[in-house]
Amino acid sequence: MSELILTVDTSTPAGSVALSRGEELLGEVLLHLRGTHTDRILGSMNWMLAEAGFKPSDMDAFGVVVGPGSFTGLRVGVGTVKGLAYACGVPVVGVSSLETLATQCPASAYPVCALIDARKKEVYASVFDCKAGEPASVIPEQVLSPDALLDHLHDDHLFIGSGALLYRDLIRQRMGERCHFVSWSLNLPRASHAAMLVLSRLRDGQGKTAREIMPRYIRASEAEYMLAAKGSSCSG
């Protein structure tokens, strides 16, 4: 079966959409520009579908990167896909931004450490074994300081993602020759790689309804922090 799938990733400033049919990539648009995904994600999607001769109602399923990443970006991407899937009555598959990055390192001889800048001097991080192809989780997704993460990495690792770029000097200082980095272009997560995970999970029966798909933030939002702080001060 050649499932027609539209996949969206707005988890980082590099937003992308991909159209795939089975294991064939039909098209992809990636934009790493200033501004919000709200301004351009639908335009990119509509242009790509029109060029390929399809419309949203032709899709057999939708895929979306649910996080972790930019809170605003995740809301835009997940909200867009939920609306399309609900209107078209087809399943949705949500996948991880960190796992998506790891798929860009197939058959890596080293464990792959995927890092996304989480601001506040922290990173979203996870480590995967990619020797067999599809990433297998070794260290689960979490948000922590780069130093705290590096305390647990004692062997050679391959680093990828915006967090790897941002903290490259620290990683080199802490790990020396045990750290390895991907080429610069691979540090941007791509919807085409997320689509590979989406297809695999869809075929495994892991498709969900639009109502079931939610962003995965890992860390509380700024508003939640402020609310908790306000509650703490009031109770004191």
Does residue 127 share a domain with residue 210? no
Question: What is the token pair recorded at 54?
Answer: 């399809």
Q: Which residue has the tokens 């990619």?
A: 130
Which helix or strand (DSSP H or E) is residue 177 part of? none
Residue 52 lies in a domain: yes
Q: What is the CATH number of the domain that holds 200?
A: 3.30.420.40
Mark whether 46 and 112 lie in a shared domain.
no
Q: Identify whether residues 9 and 85 lie together within a single domain.
A: yes
Residue 232: inside a domain: no
**167 shares a domain with 113:** yes
14 closest CA partner among 194, 174, 175: 194
Q: Report how many domains make up the chain.
A: 2
In-domain check, residue 128:
yes
Shared domain for 28 and 49, answered yes or no, is yes
In a domain, 124, yes or no: yes
Q: How far is CA 136 from CA 47, 100, 197, 231, in A?
A: 35, 12, 12, 40
User: pLDDT (tens digit, 9 = 90+) per residue, 196-215?
Assistant: 999 999 999 999 999 999 99
Whether the pLDDT of residue 103 is over 80: the answer is: yes
Termini Cα distance of the chain: 61
- pTM to 2 decimal places: 0.91
Residues 151 and 72 reside in one and the same domain: no
Question: Can you tell me whether residue 155 is helix, strand or coil?
Answer: coil
At 11, give phi and psi (nearest 5°): -75, -20
Question: For residues 195 and 92, is the Cβ–Cβ distance under 8 A?
Answer: no
Residue span of the structural domain in which 60 resides: 4-97+189-223
User: How many Cα atoms occupy the beta-carbon half-sphere of 228 within 13 Å?
Assistant: 6
Residue 113: which of 73, 151, 78, 71 has the closest Cα?
151
- Is residue 190 within 8 Å of residue 76, measured between CB atoms? no
CA 43 to chain centre: 20
The verdict on residue 83 lying in a domain is: yes
Tens digits of per-residue pLDDT, 127-169? 999 998 789 999 999 999 999 999 999 999 999 999 999 999 9
- Same domain? For 193 and 92 the reply is yes
Based on the domain organization, do 89 and 194 belong to the same domain? yes
Residue 92 sits in the same domain as residue 14: yes
| 229 lies in some domain | no
